[in-house]
Amino acid sequence: MENQKFYYDNKIVKLFIKATIIWGITAVTVGLLIAFQLAYPAYNFGLEFTTFGRMRPLHTNAVIFAFVGNAIFAGVYYSMQKLLKARMFSDVLSKIHFWGWQLIILLAAITFTLGISTSKEYAELEWPIDILITIVWVVFGWNMIGTIVKRRVQHIYAAIWWYLASFLGVAILHVVNSFELPVSLFKSYSIYAGAQDAVVQWWYGHNAVAFFLTTPFLGLMYYYLPKAANRPIYSYKLSIIHFWSLIFLYMWAGPHHLLYQALPDWAQALGVTFSIMLIAPSWGGMINGLLTLRGAWDKVRDSAVLKFFVVAVTAYGMSTFEGPMMSLKNVNQITHFTDWTIAHVHIAGMGWNAGLIFGMLYWMIPRLYKTKLYSEKLANTHFWIATLAILVYAIPLYWAAVTQWLMWREYTPEGFLAYPNFLETLTHILPMYTVRIVGGTLFLIGFLIMMYNLYKTMKSGSVEDNEAAEAPAFVSEGPRNPLKETVHRWMERKIVKFSIWVFIALVIGGAVEIIPMIFIKSNVPTIAAVTPYTPLELEGRDIYVSEGCHTCHSQVVRPFRWETDRYGEYSKIGEFVYDHPYQWGSRRTGPDLARAGYVGGPMYKNAAWHYNHFMNPQKMNEQSIMPNYAWFAKKELNLNLVPKKIRAMQTLRVPYAEGFDEIAVDDLLKQAKGIVADLKSSNIEIEPTKQMVAMIAYLHKLGGDIAPSVVEVGESSTETIEDIKLLTGEEDLNAAREIFTQTCVVCHGADGKGIATFPDLTDDEWISGDSPLNVYQSISNGKITKGMVPYKDTYSEKQIIQLTSYILLKLNSDEDSK
């Protein structure tokens, strides 16, 4: 067979390598910054652009998409050309891919810093950038599949299976999760709401871990590890089994991020069971890697490359055992919302991903530049520093997680929370955050050593941008011979069939979980009391979303007594039906805010408190680590967008009355003026159109729509009263007068005409309605924000009816009032 000449495109590999190193250093540096911020809030610098809420998505996105992403592309472009014996399909597509990806990263850095974010974890970018990602991703896939089609080898190797699954997986995830309705260039609403949005988001979030951080890396492992060890892959059969089982099972496991939250039990159970079933497929990758090193362990001692690979694969094995364990509900209540998850992802990120990248770079760069590694000793130094860094980073966080969880659920002998003040449980673990900074610093130092070593290596050699190679032309083996070729072996040369089966394996899990959540009503039982956000509350919510408040504050109370005692009634699915996007969060660095708006609940704070707290959190709680948000008092709301937002919400079936968009701004201003007046009574002056006012309105909306089932002292009736009959008997009215003169006179005056700002009960103006039932409820439930005390615990139902009668028949009767 005649050999064909062709050229490897090394230039594109070189570009991706450089981007990997530059963005990697950036990502770790931003990580170090936010680690400082968590231990010492001064490192938020008092600037809106550098607050933790904006920097944290920058860190996660920079690590995942900039550092790891570029590394994947470098590794894939290098290995795929060699494995397929072909140049990349198109140089133009390669260039669009490279520069398009760097543009996305740059736009991400700019928009996050400016506070433009959808808040969906690892998918925070706004819709124009989402479209750009889709285009660039298609370019990557087109280039990859084009290269596979014009290959000069018969079968595609296991590494390529993983690359293909990664491309298809990320494409499906990104498109489905990014469905959003734009209202402006920088603002959109997720088309999914509440629990549905949560399911879609964690189907995406979990599988971003799978198809961006796991499957591409298994592909890279299948190429670089046997290359570096110069050993054959341990088991081809294991490759097949763990490939198909892993890509099929992974897609189901997303709901394990939502255990004990406002999600149907069946969806949670799928998250648990499929996570457990992932242990063996994941470990299949680990042992196929480690057993490939059989007979090469002597090389591991000297080679930094192999050492990094061993740590990477071991970290992968640890994380993929830990992950399923964290998916058991009883373990998850410890690990969720604490630093356990943070430690877990860093074992995987710093060990598996970064470890494999470091090993790959140390192996690939000398070969690409046709030279020797500048210093094997420095590479080994980097290895030991990086390994130590992982331990110094993770161990304190595991410690912190368990400590904080124990403090959250600790009760006094009397049965009350031992640490009712959330802050106590945080300040207790802050020393661990300081140790974590040391871990992060070590990791960065190791990274810088590598950069120096690789820079020197690159300087000492040169890349042949177009490297000549030759291979026999591709001649199809033709139809399958059942005696000689297994079905799988045959599929390995039938790229279209192979891809279709990968696609089928990928879509089933997501379809089974997402479609019923959207189309079967019983999965999202609605609650009549839950109302849509007012325009002002919606504005506040949009600020909450874009500032990334969810990075520290969750908004979902789990059904544990130690959570309901601390925060109030646990969250119900129906409470979130107007939440585009949902805001449950995944870490409680600060307290949960799901019930921040329930007046009388343990989390309620009045408007003046919120104002002062935003202006200077440390003034309210000396040890608070929250950054200040003083600019909320300066920045204006964009009222022009309000009608458009209302219309967008109507499109998403939020039941605002028709034509509400036209009066939305008036409604907003009216509500804002109420809050301004409230603040003024505490000597705080602010204009109604400031962001601060909207934030207070939003926080006061949270979780107040359904009444927590608090156990009350007294004879309060639990049944709902449909209507009440006024009592006209002298005896009743006299009894009521007595109560009135004892209690009500304080605010409403002996004649009921009201003292100071308290309302006149004798006129025809009624704040909460003038029907007997309205008045009864006002007395019974009070209106705490206005100063009206609830009397249902003080007086019996009958006494309150007497009072109602007295007020309506005596004080408000026409002859008396006019």
Partner 1 sequence: MEEKTHNKADQTNLLDDEKLMDHDYDGIQELDNPPPRWIMAIFYITIAFAIIYAAHYFWLGVGENQDAQYARKSLNHDAKYKMANQSTEDLVLLTDAGDLEEGKVIFSEMNCFACHGMSGEGNAIGPNLTDNSWISGCDFQSVFNIVKNGNPTKGMTAFKGQISDTKIQKVSSYVLSLVGTNPANAKDPQGVNCE
- Report the site for partner 1 in 340-369 (rule: CB under 8 A): none
Among 71, 251, 272, 761, binds partner 1 (CB under 8 A): 272
Residue labelled with tokens 């124009």: 128
First to last CA, the chain: 111
CB of 565 to partner 1, least distance (A): 6
How many angstroms separate the CA atoms of 619 and 128, rounded?
A: 40
Nearer to partner 1, 498 or 604 (CB): 604
Among 231, 480, 494, 647, binds partner 1 (CB under 8 A): 231
In Å, what is the CA distance from 184 to each residue of 43, 127, 188, 599?
32, 10, 7, 34
Restricted to residues 2-61, the positions that interact with partner 1 (CB under 8 A) are none
Restricted to residues 298-337, the positions that interact with partner 1 (CB under 8 A) are none
Cα dihedral 422, 529, 269, 192, rounded to 10, equals -100
Cα dihedral 743, 747, 751, 755, rounded to 10, equals 160
Nearer to partner 1, 294 or 653 (CB): 294
Residue 755 found at the interface with partner 1 (CB under 8 A): no
Among 127, 189, 204, 223, binds partner 1 (CB under 8 A): 223
Judge contact between 313 and 290, C-beta under 8 A.
yes
181: number of Cβ within 10 Å: 16
Nearer to partner 1, 179 or 411 (CB): 411
81: number of Cβ within 10 Å: 23
CB of 550 to partner 1, least distance (A): 22
Residue 266 found at the interface with partner 1 (CB under 8 A): yes
Sign of CA dihedral 742, 744, 749, 755: positive
Q: What kind and span of H or E run contains 190?
A: strand 187-190
Among 314, 381, 523, 743, binds partner 1 (CB under 8 A): 743
Residue 442 found at the interface with partner 1 (CB under 8 A): no
Nearer to partner 1, 205 or 366 (CB): 366
Residue 640 found at the interface with partner 1 (CB under 8 A): no
Among 4, 22, 82, 708, binds partner 1 (CB under 8 A): 82
For every residue of 373-391, DSSP letters joined together read: -S-HHHHHHHHHHHHHHHH
The site map against partner 1 for 787-806 (x = CB under 8 A) is x-xx--xx------------
Residues facing 466 on adjacent strands: 9
How many angstroms separate the CA atoms of 206 and 173, rounded?
A: 10
CB of 365 to partner 1, least distance (A): 14
- Candidates 100-108, 267-275, 442-450, 508-516; binding stretch for partner 1 (CB under 8 A): 267-275
Q: Pairing state of beta strands 180-184 and 187-190?
A: antiparallel
Restricted to residues 535-594, the positions that interact with partner 1 (CB under 8 A) are 559-561, 564-566, 570
Nearer to partner 1, 274 or 629 (CB): 274
Residue 707 found at the interface with partner 1 (CB under 8 A): no
Task: Kindly report the backbone phi and psi dihedral angles of residue 795, in degrees, each rounded to the nearest multiple of 5, phi listed first.
Answer: -115, 155
CB of 749 to partner 1, least distance (A): 12
Task: Kindly report the backbone phi and psi dihedral angles of residue 690, in degrees, each rounded to the nearest multiple of 5, phi listed first.
Answer: -85, 155
Nearest to 359 by CA among 308, 319, 404, 408: 308
Residues facing 6 on adjacent strands: 469
Restricted to residues 676-705, the positions that interact with partner 1 (CB under 8 A) are none
Nearer to partner 1, 566 or 645 (CB): 566
Cα dihedral 29, 34, 36, 41, rounded to 10, equals 150
CB of 1 to partner 1, least distance (A): 15
CB of 166 to partner 1, least distance (A): 18
How many angstroms separate the CA atoms of 125 and 213, rounded?
A: 19
Residue 711 found at the interface with partner 1 (CB under 8 A): yes
How many angstroms separate the CA atoms of 780 and 788, rounded?
A: 10
Residue labelled with tokens 């998403």: 652
Among 24, 57, 219, 226, binds partner 1 (CB under 8 A): 226
Residue 284 found at the interface with partner 1 (CB under 8 A): yes
In our burial notation (b when 16+ CB lie closer than 10 A, e otherwise), range 640-653 reads eebbebbbbbbebe
Among 2, 5, 230, 468, binds partner 1 (CB under 8 A): 230
CB of 487 to partner 1, least distance (A): 16
Residue 420 found at the interface with partner 1 (CB under 8 A): yes
CB of 122 to partner 1, least distance (A): 27
Q: Binding-site residue total for partner 1 (CB under 8 A)?
A: 82
Residues facing 767 on adjacent strands: none
- Candidates 112-120, 278-286, 336-344, 770-778; binding stretch for partner 1 (CB under 8 A): 278-286
Residue 217 found at the interface with partner 1 (CB under 8 A): no
Restricted to residues 379-418, the positions that interact with partner 1 (CB under 8 A) are 411, 414-417
**HEC profile for 111-133?**
HHHCCCCCCCCCCCCCHHHHHHH
Residues 6+ apart with CB under 8 A from 379: 304, 305, 362, 373, 450, 453
Nearer to partner 1, 662 or 712 (CB): 712
CB of 551 to partner 1, least distance (A): 26
Among 14, 54, 56, 85, binds partner 1 (CB under 8 A): 85
CB of 295 to partner 1, least distance (A): 5
Among 519, 742, 756, 815, binds partner 1 (CB under 8 A): 742
- Candidates 24-32, 266-274, 352-360, 580-588; binding stretch for partner 1 (CB under 8 A): 266-274
Residues facing 417 on adjacent strands: 411
Restricted to residues 121-160, the positions that interact with partner 1 (CB under 8 A) are 153, 155, 157, 159
- Candidates 52-60, 77-85, 110-118, 637-645; binding stretch for partner 1 (CB under 8 A): 77-85
Residue labelled with tokens 């089609």: 149
How many angstroms separate the CA atoms of 698 and 514, rounded?
A: 29
In Å, what is the CA distance from 261 to each residue of 138, 268, 344, 670?
35, 9, 21, 35
Among 7, 40, 186, 234, binds partner 1 (CB under 8 A): 234
59 alpha carbon, distance to own chain's centre: 13
**Which pair of structure tokens corresponds to residue 421?**
């003040």
Restricted to residues 491-530, the positions that interact with partner 1 (CB under 8 A) are none
